[in-house]
Each structure stands twice: as structure tokens, then as C-alpha cells.
Structure 1
């Protein structure tokens, strides 16, 4: 009888070990599954955020796109480069400037080609009255754009008034800022913009 008890205890201990092993394996499988599910959820969440960010960027780009004034894109008319001596007295300086005229349609571009000698002459006269200091500032370049636009429109019978430059301040030798007048609504001009393709002052 005494020998039968240890034999009965041995199978019970073995079945307990098997049970513990099954429980441990089951827990490991559950933990691995939970970790895998977590990773998948994180990936989906990250992908959704990236898609959302892409949609936001796309929306911002669409908002940033300028709305076309009309259904047709503008036409660009390149003008041969200008090389002129500037009015600087201390040293001989010159400017090389090339522009393209942005016009509303091909018909206007073709019409302007017929007047190109007159336009070039007007622009050369404008440039010949400039100094290096006039052309090296952003304001000077912007003013030159308006003056070239005015010269391009003159042969078409369109006169554009430009804001007069104030005389320079005697103490600082910088132009005084004039009080801005209320601007009249500009008509739809056939030459809408002047774009620089080359700008060298030496």
C-alpha cells in the first residue's frame, strides 16, 4: 500500500506540469496576438494621420493656387535684352536687362510685335535715365517694371499714370515717402505684367 501512493502522486505531478505548460503557452500566444494587434492598429493610425496630412497639404496647395482671371492662360512675349550706360558720374556703369511681357492673348502679342521698335526705344530711354542706385533696390526694380509696362502700352494708345517719386531727403539722400493717394481701379490692361529674365548692373 505504501508503494502505491508515490506512484499515484507521480502521474498527478506530471499532469500539473502539462497543465502549467499549456497555460503558459496559451498566455504567450495571447500576448503575441495582442502585441501584433497593437502594432497593426498603430500602423493604421499612422497611415490615417499621413493620409490626413496629405489631404491637408493638398487642400492648402489648392487654396494657394491663384485663380485664373480667365479660362485661358496668359501669353508671354520675350523682348530682346537691353544694354545701356547708366547715369552714374563717379564710374562708368551699365545695365543689361531682359524682360518678357505678359499679355492677355496671342492677338495682343502679335500686335505688340508690330510696335516693338517703338517699345524698345521707350524702354531704352527709361533705362538711360537710371543710376545703379535706382536699379539695385527692390523698389527701383518694381518701379522699372511699371515704367516698362507703360512704354509697352503707349503704342496701343493706352496711357498709364505712375506714382511720382519724391525728391531725395537732403540729410540721408534717400527718397522721401510720398503720401499714397487713393488708387483708381485699374482697367483691364492688355499688358498685365513685366517679368525680368535677366538683370545685371555692373
Structure 2
């Protein structure tokens, strides 16, 4: 009859193991829930919106995020006759386009022949006297920026210059974010 006593002990043994498994399973589920919450809070909350996201969800940055350098696209140097009387003066200009990222630089590259032509036309309309001043170079840089941005569908506004005695202009609506940040001169020689 001693044989039946161990059978009774075996029947009661699964109950404590079952409770132990339920507690361990609950702890594992709780840890997974905490981990998923932390991942959502810390990881996904700081991602950039996807490219197909609604426009309201996108944030336009005037400059790249801190630590994200812009992309620079150097153009070949250009030699241009200037509009000086007699046509004896010329300029050799090196231009570098500053863009938000490589994707924008690739878009600019697609229009490079028409952009170079427009830049050559702009420079050929200037005199050496204009281009020797800082203001002349800044105006040329703004005009080149406009020509680079135009094929991509962006407008570059003229900087507002108040003339003496003129009425202040009404403020225009803010232009759309332009991923072409600007134009830099890498060389500028006038002879």
C-alpha cells in the first residue's frame, strides 16, 4: 500500500510548479511591456518623419541639424567676358553650391548645363567695377542662388534694401523652405 502514497504526492506537486510558472510568465510579460514602452518613448519619438508623411508633420529646417554638415557641390571654374566698354575685361569665377543634402545636390546636377549657362549670362552682364565691390559680389551670389533654385521649383527673394526717403515695404509672405542654402565663391579673379 505504500505504492499508492507516492502517487498522491506526485499529483500535488504540479500545483506549486504551476504557480511558479504563472509568476515567472507574468514577470516576463511585464518586462516586455516596459521594454516596448521605453523603446517607443526613447527610440521612435525622435525619428524624422518619413518622406511620404503629411506636410503638416514635416519640419522645415533653415539649416541642417546640429552635427549634420551640408553638402557642397563645386562647379567648374568659369571664364566670362565682362560688360566693360571695349570688352577687354574678363572674370574667372569658381562657384560652390551649398545644399541641404546629397539628394538636393543630385537634383542640382541634373540641371547643371542650364544653370551654368544662366550663371555665365549673369556674370557677362556685370562690369568689373560692379564686381570689385563686396555689394556687387553679394548681389551676384544672390542672383546665382536664384538661378540654381529655379529649376528645383524654389524662388529666392531679393534682399530688402531701404532707399533714403522711401516708404517701408510691406512684409512679404515667408518663402517656402529652400534646400539650396546658398552660393559660395571659391575663386574670383577679374583681369
TM-score range normalised by the length of the shorter chain: 0.5 to 0.7
1:119 aligned residue (105, 115, 122): 115
Q: 1:185 aligns with which of 159, 174, 179?
A: 174
Note the C-alpha offset of 1:177: 6.1
Residue 105 of structure 1 is matched in structure 2 by 101
Query: Counterpart of 1:80 in 2: which secondary structure?
Result: coil
1:1-202, aligned counterparts within 5 Å? 69-71=64-66, 72-90=68-86, 92-162=88-158, 179=166, 181=169, 182=171, 184-202=173-191
Residue 111 of structure 1 aligns to a residue in which SS?
helix
Identify the structure with the greater helix proportion. 1
1:95 alignment partner, SS class: strand
Q: State the alpha-carbon separation in 1 of the partners of residues 96 and 189 from structure 2.
A: 16
Question: Over aligned residues, Cα RMSD in angstroms?
Answer: 2.7
Q: Distance in 2 between matches of 1:110 and 1:189?
A: 15
Q: Which runs of 5+ in 1 are unaligned?
A: 1-67, 167-175
TM-score (norm 1): 0.56
5+ unaligned residues in a row in structure 2: which ranges?
1-62
Larger Rg: 1
TM-score, length basis structure 2: 0.59
Superposition misfits of 4+ residues, deviation over 4 angstroms: 163-166, 176-180
3-state secondary structure, aligned to 2:115:
helix
SS of equivalent residue, structure 2 residue 85: coil
State the shift of 1:117 in Å: 0.1
Distance 1:178 1:87 in 2: 31
Change in Cα spacing, 1:196 to 1:178, as seen in structure 2 (3 Å) is farther
